[in-house]
Amino acid sequence: MKLITFEFEGKTCAGYVDLTEAVVCVSGENANNAILDLVAGGDAALKAFVGNEMARAPLSDVRILAPIPEPKRDIFCVGKNYYAHAAEFHSSGFDSSAKEQVPSHPVVFTKATTSVCGPDDVVMGSLDHTNSVDYEGELGFVIGKRCFRVSKQDAYDYVFGYVVINDVTSRILQKDHNQWVIGKGINTFCPIGPWIATADEVGDVTELELVTKINGEERQRVKVADLIFDIPTLIETMSRTMTLLPGDIIATGTPVGVGIGFNPPKYLKKDDKMSVSITGLGTLENTIG
């Protein structure tokens, strides 16, 4: 199932996209938190959600928002999680995280909840006074159950679904502050969407392919199977010492082909168009403002 939050006829709603590409409105009350509440409610909540149809509209007639517009916690992100990108980033001169090119353990940081925006929203590159805005197309997954000390063998049981994320970044701020929170937590620098596809709909997540285009030019293409630290490893590592909560969003890392991988770097400028697509998860498009 493809779960979305959207605006229709001046109201914010939550629902899902059916097999005909129509949007089914299920919730008009507290819609900003409806998908988050659904995730926390488990299978029973999902069944009740589907059975509460209120209205339908063509997908083209609605404005899609981030599926979880107001996450409860910061977005967890993983750095340097594809081999070629690890080499690209390490050699760029912007890597202040470690001396090793390929990390021996997952590199985890966060993006502020206030950085979240939705499909077709303008990403405010003007907020980066260093003019070093870069893109990072990524697969995200959503935790479905309270998760503490979960083994790799059981990890997929805790995944509710998957979503497209663009980990937009100010490279100079990322470097200057010797950590990644400030350069990545800028308002609107975390586009998410267009929907969360439930795990049963996705099937084998390692078979998914990610493609990023800038102004129509392909920059990134990778199979999820190429992750250095796969999703079960990330869940086991993170839950070993802290509790992950239903609705937590985890971005798995970006592949080779980001702007700083070019010489000179190809930073994003006003009106540049970013497009990140993942098999079955739709396309996330945003413009730099």
How buried is 20 (Cβ within 10 angstroms: 0-12 exposed, 13-18 middle, 19+ buried)? exposed
Residue carrying structure tokens 């760029």: 92
Spatial CB neighbours of 14, under 8 Å, sequence gap ≥ 6: 3, 4, 5, 6, 25, 26, 27, 31, 34, 35, 38
Q: How many other C-beta atoms are found inside a 10 Å radius of the C-beta of residue 157?
A: 12
Domain ranges of the chain: 2-64, 75-288
3-class DSSP state for residue 267?
A: coil
CA distance 4 to 191: 14
> CA 118, 162, 148, 228 torsion: positive or negative?
negative
Asked if 282 and 274 count as a contact pair (C-beta separation under 8 A), the reply is no
pLDDT of residue 102: 80
* CA nearest neighbour of 180 among 282, 247, 80, 70: 80
pLDDT of residue 218: 98
Supply the pTM of this predicted model: 0.94
pLDDT of residue 180: 81
Residue carrying structure tokens 């996330």: 284
- Distances in Å between the alpha carbon of 158 and those of 189, 202, 246? 27, 14, 9
CATH number attached to the domain at 75-288: 3.90.850.10
pLDDT tens, residue order, the chain (289 aa)? 999 999 998 899 999 999 888 999 987 778 999 999 999 999 888 888 887 888 899 999 999 999 999 999 999 999 889 877 766 665 666 666 656 678 889 999 999 999 999 999 999 999 999 999 999 999 999 999 999 999 999 999 999 999 999 999 999 998 888 778 999 999 999 999 999 999 999 999 999 999 999 999 999 999 999 999 999 999 999 999 999 999 999 999 999 899 999 999 999 999 999 999 999 999 999 999 9
